[in-house]
Amino acid sequence: MLGRFSIRFRLTAWYSLSLAVVLGLLAVASYFAMRASMYRAVDVDLRFSLAGVAQFLKSQQGSTLSELPDEIGRKSTLGVLFQIFDDQGKLVYQSDGLASHHIKPVAPTASGTAIVYRETGPEGWPVRLAAQRVTFRGQPIVVEVAQPMRFHYASLREFATSLLISLPLLVVIAAFVGYWLSGRALAPVNRIVEDARAIDSHRLSQRLSVPAAHDELRRLSETLNSMLDRIEVSVTRIKQFTADASHELRAPVTLIQAAAEYTLRRERTREELVEAMEKILRESRRTSQLIDSLLLLARADADEEVLQPAPVCVDSVLRDAVDRAREFAAGKNIRLAAAISEDALHVNGEAALLERLFFVLIENGIKYTPENGSVSVALRSSPDEVVVEVSDTGIGIAPEDLPHVFDRFWRADKARSREMGGTGLGLSIAKWIVEKSGGTIRVESAVGHGSKFEIRFPKLQNDRTLTTSQS
Ligand code: ADP
């Protein structure tokens, strides 16, 4: 119900409510404690009076029970309100003070020697009485002393009234103080809200102000700021990717358009037409390859390309990739050597994607190796890893370029890559496939000497493979 209100209001409401409950319980407890201690004090007084009267009766052993009232009247030094009943419950004596309180002379039910307490008296004149059986000249009688309770009750009522007035007052004061305090404590939240409102996709570099105090709100703004850092990096990367993708797509389309317009400008011989068509076909193939890579990366980013991890026989997939690349290598007069372990080695992954990964690496090796060079492919395994190595004797990669080779659209030499039909996306797709298969990829290279790409996959044990394929 309180959910509709501000945190400040809810905090104050809960705080005031709990304070009211605690103070209420405290007030009830202190009222009853006060009442109990009042009764205790009265009862102590009554017991003293009883002892006094008993002492007096002992000193009067010379008189009979019927002479007793006169004796008491004569001495009347006790100053105590009391009454005496005989064994039959008949009133023998009642002190004047007690009579003036209009106490009915009804005998208490005192038996044995235990003190019996009771409260009686007309409206407005309550008294508390304590009775005890004693013997007077061998005859059992009941002595009962009294204490007026009027003033005690009045002070108890006064105490209750002051509690009833001060308690709500205290809660109201505490609520105001609490409201003010929670306002102060929550002030940084308003600042965070204002800062957050000012941030949009055009002002992603702005950050929330961080409160000075080392508290939860500081942690909150720091956490939100680091989240904004990550969002900014991703948005910048997406913007860069979109810009690069449009640029890359525009280049072949412009080339296709230019080739078509140039050819149509005048009558062309059959050879000229074939040449133009081949150029257009080459660029269309490149465009469709680029679109294909872009789609794969877009799905990878959206996490749509969910791999159905199944045990894949890496050796046969690697052999297929090598066979596919043979013609390309032969065309460039490059020796393509493969040392692939005869054992059936299994990793978790998707065969088509793994073949694409191996092909990208082998094709790159061939592309970036001058004629008469060589590219070697090796597959080996350790007890828990399957390692694939693709090395070449090509142009190599400069040390400062190594950290960028897996970036999207990054190419050491744009013109050269384009000329070879490259899109700058091969290695970023390769890295994604490796990571999705639970592996790692790294590259070593020396300019002018060649490069070596090494991929490590967690190895699936054969018995596990059998179980999986049987299930
Ligand atoms: P591309 O389509 O341009 O080959 P990749 O993502 O596959 O795109 O590679 C990115 C860049 O890394 C290449 O343009 C090239 O500069 C460099 N590169 C990749 N493989 C090799 C290699 N085997 N030898 C030298 N340079 C390489």
What CA–CA distance (Å, rounded) separates 290 from 284?
Answer: 10
The confidence score (pLDDT) of residue 445 equals: 97
The confidence score (pLDDT) of residue 113 equals: 79
CA 421 to ligand 1: nearest atom: 2
What CA–CA distance (Å, rounded) separates 305 from 394?
Answer: 33
CATH node for 2-154: 3.30.450
Is the Cβ atom of 450 under 6 angstroms away from ligand 1?
Answer: no
Would you call 142 exposed, middle or buried from its count of C-beta atoms within 10 A (0-12, 13-18, 19+)? buried
Verdict on whether the full-model pTM lies above 0.85: no
Would you call 357 exposed, middle or buried from its count of C-beta atoms within 10 A (0-12, 13-18, 19+)? buried
Is the Cβ atom of 408 under 6 angstroms away from ligand 1?
Answer: no
Helices 216-264 and 150-197, interaxial angle, to 10°? Answer: 20
The confidence score (pLDDT) of residue 78 equals: 61
Sorted by where each begins, the domain ranges of the chain are 2-154, 216-301, 310-470
- Closest residue by Cα to atom 19, ligand 1, is 364
Is the Cβ atom of 429 under 6 angstroms away from ligand 1?
Answer: no
3-state secondary structure at position 338: strand
The confidence score (pLDDT) of residue 396 equals: 96
CA 450 to ligand 1: nearest atom: 24
CA 428 to ligand 1: nearest atom: 6
Is the Cβ atom of 364 under 6 angstroms away from ligand 1?
Answer: yes
CA 416 to ligand 1: nearest atom: 14
The confidence score (pLDDT) of residue 347 equals: 92
Q: Which helix (H) or strand (E) holds 429?
A: helix 426-436
Which residues neighbour 344 within 8 Å (Cβ) at sequence distance 6 or greater? 313, 315, 462
The confidence score (pLDDT) of residue 2 equals: 62
Query: Ligand 1 center to residue 358 CA distance, Å?
Result: 14
Same-fold call for 216-301 versus 310-470 = no
What six digits make up the tokens of 27?
């007030």
CATH entry 1.50.10.10 includes domain 216-301? no
The confidence score (pLDDT) of residue 470 equals: 32
Q: Which of 417, 425, 432 to mutate to test the pocket of ligand 1 (most atoms within 8 A of CB)?
A: 417
- How many beta carbons lie within 10 A of that of residue 187, not counting itself? 12
pLDDT in tens, 290-347: 999 898 888 887 776 556 778 999 999 999 999 999 999 999 999 999 999 888 889 9
Can you list the alpha helix ranges (DSSP code H) found in 332-411? 351-367
Is the Cβ atom of 417 under 6 angstroms away from ligand 1?
Answer: yes
Query: Ligand 1 center to residue 187 CA distance, Å?
Result: 54
- Residues of the chain short of pLDDT 70, as ranges, are 1-3, 76-78, 304-307, 462-471
The confidence score (pLDDT) of residue 398 equals: 95
- Architecture of 310-470 per CATH? 2-Layer Sandwich (3.30)
The confidence score (pLDDT) of residue 276 equals: 92
